[in-house]
Amino acid sequence: MDRETNIVGALSLVLSDEIKKAVNEVVGASGETAAAIIMLGPNGGLSAGEVAQALAITPSGVARLIDRLANDGLVVRRSGLDQRVVVLELTIEGQRLRSLALAARERVIKRCLHGISEYELKNASPILERMIKNLLVDQKYCYRFCRMCDEGACDPDCPVEEHKKSFVADD
């Protein structure tokens, strides 16, 4: 393994750890609770199964997570288009907590980017997008990539959404 490859691995691991730690402190929970809250913000209407898949947790694990979020007044369950499916949406309190968690995430990322100029970051963007696309090999995992994203930051040019379209074109 070369030095740069090793550095990418170390950076990704530590950045992920630091983001999880920061958002979990804000949310006051551990595990995938913060990711669920962040992900449900712009994606209201996801089913429990979609949330479980995105967070890589079992159906029973997501059921317990949703129960906790509902009991804490952060999520409401609604009937989907198919009455057999329950979809999830954040409450106003859930949206407020999501905003706080995203702000904590942003602070960690900005700390990581300290001393990197806007010019350097813009030039790195195509490389970072390609790295994401290299890992996104199945459309069903798209939510997993954005589970902790401030999805509005990439509108209208989200690399995951753009790559997701290629899966539809291939079908």
User: CATH number for the domain including 36?
Assistant: 1.10.10.10
Please give the residue range of the domain that contains residue 142. 3-170
Determine the average pLDDT of the residues in 159-169: 71
CA distances from 165 to 12, 53, 133, 150 (A): 26, 19, 12, 20
Alpha helices in 56-158 (DSSP H): 59-71, 92-112, 118-135, 142-145
Whether 80 has a pLDDT exceeding 60, the answer reads yes
Predicted structure pTM score: 0.88
For the chain, how many structural domains are there in total? 1
The pLDDT tens digits of the residues spanning 11-69 come to 999 999 999 999 999 999 988 999 999 999 888 788 888 899 989 999 999 999 999 99
Average pLDDT over all residues of the chain: 89
- Does the structure show a pLDDT above 90 at 97? yes
